[in-house]
Amino acid sequence: MRRIIRRIVDDFNIKKQANELGVKVWQAPSVLFILMGVVIVTAMTAIYFISRNNYSPEILIFSEIAVVAVLFTIGSFIIKSIEEVARANKMKSEFISITSHQLKTPLTEVNWEIEFLLSQHGKLLNQEQKDIIKTITNSNTKIIKLVNDLLDVVRIEQGRFILTEEKMDIVKVVEEVIEENKFLAKSSNIEIKFIKPDFVPEIIADRRRMKVVIDNFVSNAIKYIKSKGHIEISVDAKNDEIMVCVKDNGIGIPRSQHDIIFQKFFRSDNAAKYQTEGTGLGLYIAKNIIDQSGGKIWFKSVEEEGSAFYFSLPIKRNNPNNK
Amino acid sequence: MGKKIVIIEDDNILQDTLKKFLSTKGYEVSGAINGEDGVELVKKENPNLLLLDIVLPKKDGFGVIKDLKADESTKNIPIVLLTNLGNLDDVQKALDLGATTYLIKADYKLEEIVQKIEETLN
């Protein structure tokens, strides 16, 4: 009930609506619709009175034409404002896409130059200097990830999100993710445990994107453990599917927000309070990746106790696309 | 003597870093910054492998692949695409034209590129 009332209040909060859409108040669709309603009611009343007092059909026709003209004008304003919003949305996507691409080359340059520097002159550096360089590399990698996320979101919005298919070993990907997050986990006093299964068959999926999903689970776990926590990662294979689970003893997600955590830009109240860093894009992208790969993604979480994030993927056998 | 690699990449810094790094790994590396010069260089050097960017001035990566595949002396040179994955359709198009494999620049460390080169050469 409260939600419905809030919705109605929001519908009438024209200034807020105009701000959200980035248009002028008189261009907001609700204003134009209300205006249109007022015109229709006034016109009907006017026509009623005119036709009651005058029996001249000319006047009736003229007033009808006048009403239709006014309605057309308002209608064209509505169309124009919708077009403007759509155009702005498209421009935003293109802007993100172009700038992100432009950012990628210099970011790659930084990472490669640092790697080259370390490979050639690493021996001359002391531990403190090496740590500084490691921090720079980590920060740069973080920007690359963010840029990749932005590009993925734009692709999802434009319906151009394409996944590749290749044979991959999920255990190896988990190990890579652990290796890459080791430094960060250690500095937050977090222990990562990997329960490795005896045997996991290879699956066919987009390796890079699977790494994005697992990395998202693990880096979220690290981010939302207050201190001295532990993360347990497990991989299981049964009934023609593999399942990956990342469990933490972090701050958890409030019950009231369980339904919306995969939404774009969502950040839970307690997460935003506790940890300012985060875009709210990671799980949205992860869900799109897993859904599009034919898998399932879900979680269990209790506030103040921790969260466990899961995804499962079908093990495709005898796939004609096997390479 | 080390194996020969040609890099066609229009970003000078990326090309330079890659060249220097691959040289330390024992490869003999030369590079071009546009497609036309690139095709000439490949024909002259006859390398064991080509690293090829897709978006290039004068002649793009697709044009380069077509030219090399049409020439008897260069058609068997393995081609590794260097891309920033602007569009997977483009990568697929290049693979269909005959490129061997691809790698995403922003996601690859130099060491991983060497691995990919070795895998492709073997």
What is the rounded distance in angstroms from the CA atom of residue A92 to the CA atom of residue A88? Answer: 6
Q: Is A105's CB within 8 Å of B104's CB?
A: no
Q: Which of A96, A108, A115 to mutate to test the interface with B (most CBs of B within 10 A)?
A: A108
pLDDT in tens, A106-151: 999 999 999 999 888 888 889 898 888 888 888 888 888 888 888 8
Chain A CB contacts of B104 under 8 Å are: 208
Task: Please name every residue paired with B31 in a beta bridge, in sequence order, or none if there are none.
Answer: B7
Task: Check if A186 contacts B (Cβ < 8 Å).
Answer: no
How many domains would you assign to chain B? 1
What is the rounded distance in angstroms from the CA atom of residue A211 to the CA atom of residue A233? Answer: 14
The predicted pLDDT at position B93 comes to 83
Comparing CB atoms, the residue among B11, B105, B110 nearest residue A116 is B110
What is the rounded distance in angstroms from the CA atom of residue A270 to the CA atom of residue A251? Answer: 8
Task: Check if A111 contacts B (Cβ < 8 Å).
Answer: yes
Task: Please name every residue paired with A125 in a beta bridge, in sequence order, or none if there are none.
Answer: none
Domain A167-314 sits in CATH at 3.30.565.10
Domain with CATH 3.30.565.10 in chain A: 167-314
Q: Which of A109, A121, A147 to mutate to test the interface with B (most CBs of B within 10 A)?
A: A109
Q: Is A109's CB within 8 Å of B14's CB?
A: yes
Q: Which of A93, A109, A112, A173 to mutate to test the interface with B (most CBs of B within 10 A)?
A: A112
Residues 6+ apart with CB under 8 A from A101: A151, B84, B86
Place of tokens 């015109």: A39
Query: What is the rounded average pLDDT for all residues in chain B?
Result: 88
The predicted pLDDT at position B17 comes to 92
pLDDT in tens, A233-251: 999 888 788 999 999 988 8
Name the token pair of A45. Answer: 């009343």
- What CATH number did the domain enclosing B103 receive? 3.40.50.2300
Say which residue, A319 or A236, is predicted with more confidence: A236
The DSSP code for B3 is P
Average pLDDT rounded to a whole number, residues A16-40: 77
Per the structure, the complete domain to which residue B91 belongs is given by 4-121
Exposed / middle / buried, residue A306 (Cβ in 10 Å: 0-12, 13-18, 19+): buried
Q: Is B84's CB within 8 Å of A108's CB?
A: yes
